[in-house]
């Protein structure tokens, strides 16, 4: 069963054509990594999936809801599709625990006790159970991102979107976050779409790799094909050689 | 001066009471109305944004005295009889709410966009995101300018004197006319305004420190 379907999707920022003829299907439970140079449209693509950015044309179906249809209540999609941002976007006015408990309380109406229990479990899962009463400003970037992941997981989503989750982190913090993401990919049947430059992570965890450039999808390969063989387009091969050159 | 206080204190106290009453009503009212119009001004729908900015521009660009006079004179002509106190308080509320709307809007804009995106992606509606995440952070930032607005509001309540609102300024005018002790009377009136504004000012500073 497909979780996300793009059919000829076009997206513009003003006159700038950000997404061109996107056709893509992601099945439930798949882990897909989206790579490409900056400005290639990776973030734009991932942000259309939960309706943070609107599409201009085409059809975009997420968890059975049609995002191109103005009558679709986008909140019904967001309940089941979590997102983790590059800059975490934790609620600055709430404690760590409240960050995790707020949406389940007011969106899902989860009973308080159950909510707290699950939040504490999730904090333990991301290794931060002793930070529950801290404010976001008191945490490191890596800690913030793990809290942000816990906050998304608390909604028990069917699908998680990661928009460059480690790009704003100090190098020694990155692994802690990637470990949490690996754990989710391996031990849950959640659909994951990850925009990242972490090739080691992609290789270890992804079922598929999608390569974008200039607003188009140029490659949609199995992980084995993309990394062990080589990408079929020259553009992707160039990109990979530049990345591995570092 | 003591003579004026001792002989006129019932009118002075009643004026002080009316000034406090008018200020409290206008403060609460303008905060609610101002926040409402700030939210209209940042709506994603153009028509609603226009309604918000027309309201703000009308009420902040007409002198308060004209607004108060309009309510005092026009409302009784077409709608219902209202007292000078009511007309003045409504005028003051609407006038101040336009400034508060601009202050609140600036506060909302000062909250980084990621806060709203995080909340929306988390499943909250825009309204819930405003209530639980954006507005609490916005108000924290705007406490100092809001304090200014509130102090201005108390002083501006003296507009009631022109529409027979029986406030402190009105009573002061009466006493000055009756006793011809103009300077001591207005001196006392000034002190009495300070009795309201200084604690208010102190409280806003305290709030600022507490939330910082």
Chain A / chain B CB contacts < 8 angstroms:
59
Token digits of residue B101: 């709307």
Query: A177 in a domain, yes or no?
Result: yes
- Could you read off the pLDDT of B128-152 as tens digits, one per residue? 999 999 999 999 999 999 999 999 9
| Averaged pLDDT for residues B64-71 | 93
Task: Say whether residue A52 is in contact with chain B using an 8 A CB cutoff.
Answer: yes
Mean pLDDT by 10 residues, chain A (246 residues): 92 92 94 92 94 92 91 93 95 96 96 96 94 94 94 95 92 90 91 93 92 93 87 88 70
Query: A132 in a domain, yes or no?
Result: no
Q: How far apart are the C-alpha atoms of A7 and A3, rounded to whole Å?
A: 13
Task: Say whether residue A60 is in contact with chain B using an 8 A CB cutoff.
Answer: no
- Could you read off the pLDDT of A34-75 as tens digits, one per residue? 999 988 999 999 999 999 999 999 999 999 999 988 899 999
Q: What is the CATH number of domain B2-211?
A: 1.10.3720.10
Buried-state track B58-77, b at ≥16 Cβ within 10 A, e below 16: ebbeeebeebbbebbeeeee
Q: What is the pLDDT of residue A50?
A: 93
Q: Is the pLDDT of residue B69 over 60?
A: yes
What's the number of domains chain A is made of? Answer: 1
Query: Can you give the residue ranges of every domain in chain B?
Result: 2-211
Query: A201 in a domain, yes or no?
Result: yes
Q: How far apart are the C-alpha atoms of A204 and A221, rounded to whole Å?
A: 15
Of B101, B144, B137, nearest to B118 by C-alpha is B137
**Chain B residues with beta carbon closer than 8 angstroms to that of A75:** 123, 125
Higher pLDDT, A97 or B5: A97
Closest-CA distance, B121 to chain A, in angstroms, reads 6
Q: Is the pLDDT of residue B80 over 90?
A: no
| Averaged pLDDT for residues B204-209 | 90
Computed over every residue of chain B, the mean pLDDT equals: 93
- At residue A136, the 3 state secondary structure works out as helix
With 0-12 / 13-18 / 19 or more C-beta atoms within 10 angstroms meaning exposed / middle / buried, residue B2 is: exposed
Of B209, B27, B32, nearest to B135 by C-alpha is B32
Substitution target in A70, A93, A162 with the highest count of B β-carbons within 10 Å is A93
DSSP A85: -
Alpha-carbon radius of gyration of chain B: 20
**Chain A residues with beta carbon closer than 8 angstroms to that of B108:** none
Of B150, B104, B167, nearest to B130 by C-alpha is B104
Q: What is the pLDDT of residue B5?
A: 80
Q: What is the pLDDT of residue B79?
A: 86
Task: Say whether residue B122 is in contact with chain A using an 8 A CB cutoff.
Answer: yes
For tokens 């336009």, name the residue: B98
With cut-offs at 50, 70 and 90, classify the pLDDT of residue B65.
very high
Q: By the 8 A CB rule, do B165 and B88 touch? A: yes
- At residue B116, the 3 state secondary structure works out as helix
Alpha helices in B42-134 (DSSP H): 46-61, 64-78, 84-110, 113-121, 126-129
Q: What is the pLDDT of residue B211?
A: 80
| Averaged pLDDT for residues B53-69 | 95
With cut-offs at 50, 70 and 90, classify the pLDDT of residue B204.
very high
- Whether A92 and B123 lie within 8 Å, measured CB to CB: no
Q: What is the pLDDT of residue A137?
A: 94
Q: What is the pLDDT of residue A245?
A: 55
Buried-state track B149-187, b at ≥16 Cβ within 10 A, e below 16: bbbebbebbbbbbbbebbbbbbbbbbbbeeeebeebbee
Q: What is the pLDDT of residue A73?
A: 92
Q: How far apart are the C-alpha atoms of A53 and A242, rounded to whole Å?
A: 30
Task: Say whether residue B128 is in contact with chain A using an 8 A CB cutoff.
Answer: yes
Q: How far apart are the C-alpha atoms of A137 and A46, rounded to whole Å?
A: 27
Query: A115 in a domain, yes or no?
Result: no
Closest-CA distance, B161 to chain A, in angstroms, reads 43
Whichever domain contains A30, its CATH number is: 3.40.50.300
**Chain B residues with beta carbon closer than 8 angstroms to that of A101:** none
Q: What is the pLDDT of residue B75?
A: 86
**What percentage of chain B carries pLDDT values higher than 90?**
82
- At residue B16, the 3 state secondary structure works out as helix
Task: Say whether residue B136 is in contact with chain A using an 8 A CB cutoff.
Answer: yes
Q: Which residues contact A231 (CB under 8 A, 6 or more apart)?
A: A211, A219, A221, A237, A240
Q: What is the pLDDT of residue B7?
A: 83
Query: A98 in a domain, yes or no?
Result: no
ipTM for the predicted complex? 0.92
- Whether B120 and A151 lie within 8 Å, measured CB to CB: no
Alpha-carbon radius of gyration of chain A: 18
Residue-number span of the structural domain to which A51 is assigned: 2-90+160-244
Query: A120 in a domain, yes or no?
Result: no
């Amino acid at each position: 069963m497909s979780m996300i379907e793009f059919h000829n999707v076009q997206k513009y920022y003003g006159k700038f054509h950000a997404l061109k003829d996107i056709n893509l299907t992601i099945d439930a439970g798949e882990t897909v990594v989206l790579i490409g140079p900056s400005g290639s449209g990776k973030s734009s693509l991932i942000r259309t999936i939960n309706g943070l950015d609107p599409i201009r044309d085409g059809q975009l179906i997420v968890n059975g809801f049609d995002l191109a249809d103005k009558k679709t209540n986008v909140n019904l999609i967001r309940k089941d599709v979590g997102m983790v941002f590059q800059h975490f976007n934790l609620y600055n006015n709430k404690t760590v625990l409240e960050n995790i408990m707020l949406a389940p309380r007011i969106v899902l109406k989860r009973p308080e006790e159950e909510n707290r229990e699950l939040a504490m479990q999730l904090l333990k899962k991301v290794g931060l159970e002793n930070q529950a009463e801290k404010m976001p400003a008191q945490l490191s970037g890596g800690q913030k991102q793990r809290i942000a992941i816990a906050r998304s997981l608390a909604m028990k989503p069917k699908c998680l979107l990661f928009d460059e989750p480690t790009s704003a982190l100090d190098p020694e913090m990155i692994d802690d976050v990637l470990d949490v993401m690996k754990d989710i990919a391996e031990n849950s049947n959640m659909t994951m779409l990850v925009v990242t430059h972490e090739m080691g992570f992609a290789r270890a965890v992804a079922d598929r790799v999608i390569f974008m450039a200039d607003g188009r999808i140029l490659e949609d390969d199995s992980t084995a094909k993309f990394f062990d063989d080589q990408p079929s387009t020259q553009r992707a091969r160039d990109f990979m050689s530049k990345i591995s050159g570092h | 001066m003591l003579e004026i206080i001792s002989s006129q204190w019932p009118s002075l106290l009643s004026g002080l009471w009316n000034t406090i009453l008018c200020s409290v009503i206008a403060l609460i009212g303008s905060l609610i109305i101002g926040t409402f119009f700030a939210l209209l001004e940042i709506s994603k729908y153009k028509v609603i944004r226009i309604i918000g900015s027309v309201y703000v521009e009308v009420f902040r660009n007409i002198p308060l005295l004209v607004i108060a006079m309009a309510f005092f004179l026009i409302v009784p002509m077409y709608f219902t009889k209202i007292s000078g106190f009511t007309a003045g308080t409504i005028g003051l509320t609407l006038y101040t709410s336009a400034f508060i709307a601009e202050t609140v809007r600036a506060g909302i804009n000062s909250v980084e966009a990621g806060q709203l995106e995080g909340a929306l992606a988390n499943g909250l509606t825009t309204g819930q995101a405003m209530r639980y995440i954006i507005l609490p952070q916005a108000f924290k930032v705007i406490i100092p300018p809001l304090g200014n607005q509130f102090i201005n509001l108390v002083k501006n309540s003296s507009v009631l004197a022109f529409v027979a609102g029986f406030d402190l300024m009105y009573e002061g005018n009466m006493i000055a006319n009756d006793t011809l002790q103009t300077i001591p009377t207005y001196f006392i009136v000034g002190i009495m305004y300070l009795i309201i504004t200084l604690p208010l000012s102190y409280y806003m500073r305290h709030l600022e420190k507490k939330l910082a």
